Structure 1
Amino acid sequence: MRPSGNAVPAARRPLAALDEPVRVEYRTVHGYRRAFLRAGSGPVLLLVHGIGDSADTWRDLIPVLARDHTVIAPDLLGHGRSDKPRADYSVAAYANAMRDLLGILDVDRVTLVGHSLGGGVAMQFAYQYPERVERLVLVSTGGVGRDVNPVLRLVSLPYMDQLMHLLRLPTTKVVGRVGAAAVRRLPLDLGYDVDDLLRIFEALPDAQSRSAVTRTLRAVVDWRGQVVTMLDRCYLARAVPTLLVWGRHDTIVPVDHAFVAHAAMPGSRLEVFEGSGHFPHHCEPARFLGVLQEFLAATQPAGHDTDAWRRLLRYGRGDGATDAGAHLADQALAQSHRTAT
């Protein structure tokens, strides 16, 4: 029996004492209701999910993290329990929304943990509001290079909303589940991600939800691949402790992007999970928690130096990256013609 909603499959949950209640809360921001999970006390972790997902992707990790931190995990606008208006679903708009929610909650500084699209939102937040960022944790993040799963390119095309509606028909859903079961038995990388991808798709209950997700996707992906990149400005985060986590078998954003991002961010730490796909926090939750907790304990929150920030803006990347790393990042950047704003 499959779990309902966006819950992490039971077999993949970490063994953790659920000693901290996780609350669903709501705030209205600019006239739209935003949902978020909150638990714990202490330094703040802001957990940001990916396209089509919700804060529930983190639900089984939150009680452990909340032992030492205040954990806030929002449903992005257009996702989960948050409102789904016809609105701006760009990465920059999501970063602004995170700022506004934190302002309402009286939170000044955070460690950002972003998965997939959420990683792009985390980097954009760090670019727009560097004085508010203590650390960055980017999990299978988007916004590195053009390559992305061809299915996402297809969904970004016009009129795909109608096809997504057809895929919601009962007969088609049954065929999809049977196909997913077959994929799990084959020695394919897709087997690592198929359960989560099916979970996300089945959690889109109506046309409004599907429209919001496709609008979000089209803000970052077109038929040629990803259309935004963090590579041209990620050097600005060189003073921020940064952890990159990727699954070796990621079928959505290839693991090659992990090495490009690592090369472009001098001082970052890279962890590649050999037994994971696009959702390492689901495939290997105990290891993910261990790596994240060790990183949080071993690093000090970044302090923002306005003068140093201005110098970086004036003179660019400078000599922080190795020659090989800079060349690798420059090659990837040359393949991306548009950048985040």
Structure 2
Amino acid sequence: MEHSGFLRRWGTLSSFFLVLLLAWGRLYAQTPSTHWSDEDRISSQVIKLRNGITLNYAVQGDPNGPVIVMLHGAGDSWHSFARVLPLLPANYCVYAITLRGHGLSDHPARGYSRADFAGDILEFLDQLHIQHATLVGHSLGSFVAQKVAEQDTGHLDRLVLVGSGPGTHKAGSSEDEVTSPFAKLTDPIPYTFARDFQASTIYHPVPAWFFEMMVGEAQRVPAATWHGLGASISAGDPLEDLKKIKVPTLLLWGEKDSIFHREDQEVLLKNISHASLKAYPETGHALHWERPERFTSDLLAFIHSNGPNP
């Protein structure tokens, strides 16, 4: 009798653990793929540039495939593209770079003009012998990408500007409203600032795990970088510089963008030859966060339509 009672208890426990195991399996299957197997194909690396700056970057895909280089916005890192990287085909070679002053890249005390950032990217392209690349830049990264394209001597075939503007400065603009708090920041960066800053760029909801990750990345950026970014944005760039961009250019813009507006897109279209615009309804400034599937589809379609095809 004792033996049979033990067996009944063991059978009950076995059933309980089986149910628990099945539930865990379902949770695993429903977990965002970027948390599991898809991350295994992304490698995080560092490179020391000839100017002494060390940059952190992520790379994935076929080393011999068509190249895509991605640049993030202010307060972000290469993790800004965490929802996009798993969607890109493995036959592409994709680099997502963390700009100086951000993430695990070097944090110099100064050197945060758009020209400084662009110089780093041009050196990166040189040192890795990258040619015929599609350069993608979001927000701050889009202004860096503009500078790179203006100065480029053969690295780029295409340019994608995400949540961008003409780069000129107008007092009292939406950019001023966003950047005016930068000058007052001190270390450590307050969680409330990082949270509110990142939230201000979003209109369509994003997953909680992703939002908290990007809040953490904004906190990682030191006050000196935020100060430099504010000064750089206030300085602006001559509108005529946009006419130096000669590669086919795609503008991706969210209609609910609170920083850059439709008239900013029209200025870009007027001054960049071979430029086209895709507007995303019900989408904010960080459209690759909010609409990663559509963003990836539009990016790949642009690459294919401006050959040679991969």
CA contact (8 A) 2:251 2:265 kept: yes
- Alignment partner for residue 230 of structure 2, among 195, 198, 217? 217
For 2:237, the equivalent position in structure 1 comes to 229
Work out which of the two has the higher radius of gyration on C-alpha atoms and give 1 or 2: 2
SS at match of 2:174: coil
Map 1:264-275 → 2, pairs under 5 A: 264-275=271-282
Equivalent residue in structure 1 for 2:101, among 78, 81, 86? 78
1:155 and 2:170 matched: no
Deviations 1:226-265 (A, max 9, x none): x323631222224x11100000001122233112211222
Change (3 A) 1:143 1:267: closer
The 1:235–1:62 alpha-carbon spacing in structure 2 relative to 1, beyond 3 Å, is same
Residue aligning to 1:283:
290
Q: 1:257 to 1:13 in 2, by over 3 A?
A: farther
Contact 1:193/1:277, CA 8 A, preserved across alignment: no
Q: Distance in 1 between matches of 2:148 and 2:31?
A: 34
Whole-angstrom CA distance in 2 between matches of 1:274 and 1:135:
24
Paired letter, 2:98: D
TM-aligned CA distance change 1:92 to 1:11, over 3 Å: farther
Aligned counterparts of 1:229 and 1:133: Cα–Cα separation in 2: 21
C-alpha separation between the residues in 2 aligned to 1:45 and 1:230?
27
AA aligned opposite 2:133: V
Partner of 1:124: 147
The separation in 1 between residues aligned to 2:304 and 2:189, in whole angstroms, is 48
Q: CA deviation at 1:89?
A: 1.1
Between stretches 77-86 and 126-135, larger displacement belongs to: 126-135
Gap change, CA 1:142 and 1:213, over 3 Å in 2: farther
> CA RMSD for the aligned pairs?
3.3
Deviation track 1:145-173 (CA, whole Å, cap 9, x = no partner) reads 4333443242244xx023x75844xxx57
Partner of 2:81 in structure 1? 58
Q: 1:193 to 1:214 in 2, by over 3 A?
A: farther
Which amino acid in 2 is paired with 1:78? G
* Equivalent residue number for residue 87 of structure 1: 110
Q: Would the aligned equivalents of 2:185 and 2:223 in 1 still touch at CA under 8 Å?
A: yes
Q: Does 1:250 align with 2:264?
A: no
SS in structure 1 at match of 2:243: helix
Indicate yes or no: 2:159 matched with 1:136: yes
Kept in 2: contact 1:51–1:217 (CA 8 A): no
**Worse overlay, 103-112 or 115-124:** 103-112
- Contact 1:144/1:261 (<8 A) preserved: no
Structure 2 residues without counterparts, runs of 5 or longer: 1-29
Distance 2:257 2:93 in 1: 30
| Percent of aligned pairs with the same amino acid | 26
* Structure number with higher helix proportion: 2
Q: How does 1:156-171 map to 2 (within 5 A)?
A: 156-157=182-183, 160-162=184-186, 167-168=190-191
Give the CA deviation at 1:44: 1.1
Structure 1 distance, partners of 2:135, 2:252, is 13
Q: Which moved more, 1:265-274 or 1:139-148?
A: 139-148
Deviations 1:7-39, CA, capped at 9 Å, x for gaps? xxx99999xx93970110011223332100001
Aligned to 2:23: none
Q: TM-score, normalised by structure 2?
A: 0.75
Distance 1:281 1:12 in 2: 16
Indicate conservation of the 8 Å contact 1:79/1:213, yes or no. no
Moved more, 257-266 or 145-154: 145-154
TM-score (norm 1): 0.69
Match of 1:203 in 2: 217
**3-state DSSP class of the match of 1:18?**
helix
Correspondence for 1:319? none
Deviation at 1:48, TM superposition (A): 0.5
> 1:13–1:60: 8 Å Cα contact kept in structure 2?
no
Q: 1:108 is paired with a residue of what secondary structure?
A: coil
- Counterpart of 1:218, as a letter, is A
